[in-house]
């Protein structure tokens, strides 16, 4: 009988640090031939691109992108088929899954332990759900909920009359084997102790790990044998999902929507800096993507926002900056990139994903359009533009 492939699932709210953790795991000496499934609710999978740029290029390993939906509901059938396909390759001995930031963990777990009559797939015969990990942004948890009395009160009341983001956060904390309390360097020891005490109240059994930038012992995440079906089965949430005829997509349940802003024109450095610092909409819960700044014309600029924190920094080089002799070979391996290639600017573009609650897409798009270079500015010497960022870039 074929040995079942262990599976670790990474859940956690938007911006908690799942992709950072995933990149850390992939670049560590884990000894496995890993297949990675990266799920994003938007139509552009920014996290999958970051995994590629983070060095995911090992032989006999696979990166699967699943986007424009969540693997706990709208893409659950696709998840079944992809895991089934990976299990048949014969070259994979571990599967890592990064769920979208608004995924609920219970339906994902059910995918691995119940036979799917519709598709005739039983993943339990080929895979073993090893660890359910929930990543929590410690600083954001503290700033949003303080000492956490409101969170505990909500969980204790059992009031389901009005679903909101707190319910999603609680669901992710309640159903897991490991809680990774991330970004611990941003809180004091006393604040961390209070956050951990609240989380322990919500989840009395999971192992709690503290981390900075997702750095944890691999043995706490991979091949832990922690997932316990009997314990999970006795969870009220699990039983509720098992008996439910239909799982409401998170976009409906929590009112979360997303859109992609994409323009083949650079941002004016001062105007986009002002927008990020002074005009960023409160309705945006998470934003992430690549920016094109004219005075850093060869560099891909990564923008990440989670809650009140916004980071922007050079990430890599645009493919268009490659020497011609290397570019053709690169494009041959990236057919999607070739399809979107601009004759004048190559792959340079602004591509930002916005996720939030009741987003005003038209207003945000209009604000961003005003940050683009005008036609006159497109013709000027871009190095004369004032640079508010002053990054030191190695030649």
Domain positions in the chain? 5-248, 256-384
Q: Which has more pLDDT, 12 or 392?
A: 12
Residue 1's CB: how many other CB atoms inside 10 A?
A: 4
Which of 46-55, 105-114, 196-205, 326-335 has the weakest average pLDDT?
46-55
Q: Which has more pLDDT, 2 or 297?
A: 297
84-108, pLDDT tens digit by residue? 999 999 899 999 999 999 898 988 9
Local confidence band at 367 (pLDDT 50, 70, 90 cut-offs): very high
User: What homologous superfamily is domain 5-248 in, according to CATH?
Assistant: P-loop containing nucleotide triphosphate hydrolases (3.40.50.300)
pLDDT at 231 over 50: yes
The sheet that has 284-291: what strands, in order across it? 256-263, 350-357, 284-291, 299-306, 309-317
Local confidence band at 204 (pLDDT 50, 70, 90 cut-offs): confident
Percentage above 90 pLDDT, the chain = 54
Q: Which has more pLDDT, 395 or 228?
A: 228
154-169, pLDDT tens digit by residue? 555 554 433 467 778 8
Which of 53-57, 211-215, 255-259 has the weakest average pLDDT?
53-57
What lies within 8 Å, CB to CB, of 52 at 6+ separation is 63
Residue 223 pLDDT: 96
> What does the H/E/C string look like for the chain?
CCCCEEEEEEEECCCCCHHHHHHHHHCCCCCCCEEEEEEECCCCCHHHHHHHHCCCCCCCCEEEEEECCCCCCCCHHHHHHHHHHHHCCCCCCEEEEECCCCCCHHHHHHHHHCCECCCCECHHHCEEEEEEEEEEEHHHHHHHHCCCHHHHHHHHHCCCCCCCHHHHHHHHHHCCCEEEEECHHHCCHHHHHHHHHHHHHHCCCCEEEECCCCCCCHHHCCCCCCCCHHHHHCCHHHHHHHHCCCCCCHHHHCCEEEEEEEECCCECHHHHHHHHHHHCCCCEEEEEEEECCHHHCCEEEEEEEECCEEEEEEEEECHHHCCHHHHHHHHHHCHHHHHCCECCCECCCEEEEEEEECCCHHHHHHHHHHHECCHHHHCCCHHHCCCCCCCCCCC
Q: Contact at 8 Å (CB) between 151 and 200?
A: no
Q: Which has more pLDDT, 265 or 118?
A: 265
CATH no. for 256-384: 3.30.1220.10
Q: Which has more pLDDT, 162 or 12?
A: 12
pTM: 0.76
């Amino acid at each position: 009988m074929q040995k079942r492939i262990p599976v670790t699932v990474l859940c956690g709210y938007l911006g908690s640090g799942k992709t950072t953790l995933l990149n850390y795991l992939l670049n560590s000496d884990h000894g496995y031939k890993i297949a990675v499934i990266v799920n994003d609710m938007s139509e552009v999978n920014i996290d999958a691109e970051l995994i590629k740029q983070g060095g995911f290029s090992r032989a006999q390993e696979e990166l699967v992108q699943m986007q424009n939906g969540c693997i706990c509901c709208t893409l659950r059938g696709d998840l079944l088929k992809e895991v089934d396909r990976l299990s048949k390759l014969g070259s994979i001995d571990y599967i890592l899954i990064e769920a979208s930031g608004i995924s609920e963990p219970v339906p994902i777990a059910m995918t691995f332990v119940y036979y799917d009559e519709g598709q005739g797939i039983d993943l339990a015969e080929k895979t073993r759900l090893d660890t359910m990990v929930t990543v929590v942004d410690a600083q954001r948890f503290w700033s949003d909920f303080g000492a956490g009395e409101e969170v505990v009160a909500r969980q204790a009341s059992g009031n389901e009359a009005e679903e909101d983001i707190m319910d999603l956060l609680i669901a992710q904390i309640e159903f897991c084997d490991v809680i990774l309390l991330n970004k611990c360097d941003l809180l004091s020891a006393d604040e961390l102790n209070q956050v951990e005490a609240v989380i322990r109240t919500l989840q009395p059994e999971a192992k709690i790990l503290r981390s900075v930038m997702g750095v944890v012992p691999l043995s706490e995440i991979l091949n832990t044998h922690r997932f316990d079906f009997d314990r999970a089965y006795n969870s009220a949430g699990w039983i509720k999902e098992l008996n439910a005829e239909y799982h409401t997509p998170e976009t409906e349940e929590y009112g979360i929507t997303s859109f992609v802003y994409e323009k083949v024109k650079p941002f004016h450095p001062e105007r986009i800096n002002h927008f990020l610092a002074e005009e960023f909409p409160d309705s945006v819960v998470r934003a992430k993507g690549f920016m094109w700044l004219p005075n850093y014309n060869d560099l891909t600029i990564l923008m990440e926002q989670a809650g009140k924190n916004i980071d922007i920094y050079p990430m890599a080089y645009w493919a268009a900056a490659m020497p011609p002799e290397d570019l053709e070979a690169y494009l041959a391996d990236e057919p999607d990139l070739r399809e979107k290639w601009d004759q004048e600017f190559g792959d340079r573009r602004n591509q930002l994903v916005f996720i939030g609650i009741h987003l005003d897409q038209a207003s945000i798009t209009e604000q961003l359009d005003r940050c683009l270079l005008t036609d006159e500015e497109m013709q000027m010497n871009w190095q004369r533009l004032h640079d508010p960022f002053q990054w030191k870039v190695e030649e």
